Amino acid sequence: MTVSKVSIPSELPKRFWKARDAAIEHFLSNSELPVGLADLQEWLATDGWDDLLAAWVNEDIVLNLGGWAEYKFSDSSLRDTEGLDEAEAITDQMRVDYAREAINYAVENSEGNDNPSVHSFPIEREDGARAVLGCTVEIHGQYGPVPQWHGVFADKNDFYKYLRSAGFLFHSEAAEIGDAEILALWDFEKKKTARRKKRAS
């Protein structure tokens, strides 16, 4: 697969060059994150906002599936939504169908701050060494966009791999999520409690 070359945005202010170079060195040699990186990230969230948004070209939106599923994927939520009584058994197929419908709705409506945009901000040293600062941008109602920084990565693909492993589901890949992955996030607590009560009786 051909990977497109990462474009370099407009030059950072000179006061951030040291932090930029140290961030790239952190990725290359696993050195400590530079203290000044927080200042660079703060600048990107304010005065450098246009540069950060420019890095969003050809990127995606993700659903924070790991956190979102905690209050969506449960037998109790399914019963409440579908109007099922306690006596009716819930099958795994019912759980999967319910979860997929919920995911599709979340993706189509990009509801709340569970659906941040993805930004891979490229940085480059004078010697040509490169990396990207990875962040997701959440929309917090009246407070507006809030960047969440995830670290320093080799490139956009490396950052995307990290997001997937951290429980983020790319909107463009939502239809590809497997049944086993959905059920691994499911809260079976009520079902287990019922079994314990039955054994105790």
Question: What do you get for the CA distance between the two ends of the chain, in Å?
Answer: 60
pLDDT tens digit sequence for 128-153? 999 999 999 988 877 788 899 999 99
H or E segment at 117? strand 117-124
Q: Which range has highest mean pLDDT (3-12, 121-130, 142-151)?
A: 121-130
Instruction: Kindly state the average pLDDT of the residues 104-128.
Output: 89
The pLDDT of residue 7: 52
The pLDDT of residue 194: 46
The pLDDT of residue 2: 39
> Is the pLDDT confidence value at 17 over 60?
yes
Q: Rounded CA gap, 53 and 92, in Å?
A: 41
pLDDT tens digit sequence for 162-200? 999 999 999 999 999 999 999 999 998 544 444 444 444
The pLDDT of residue 133: 94
- What is the pTM assigned to this prediction? 0.82
> Is the pLDDT confidence value at 3 over 60?
no
User: In the sheet where 145-153 sits, what is the strand order?
Assistant: 117-124, 130-139, 145-153
C-alpha torsion sign, points 60, 129, 51, 19 = positive
The pLDDT of residue 4: 46
The pLDDT of residue 10: 53
> Is the pLDDT confidence value at 123 over 90?
yes
- Does residue 59 or residue 17 have the better pLDDT? 17
H or E segment at 53? helix 49-54
pLDDT tens digit sequence for 43-92? 998 888 887 777 666 678 999 998 899 989 999 999 999 999 888 899 99
> Is the pLDDT confidence value at 157 over 90?
yes
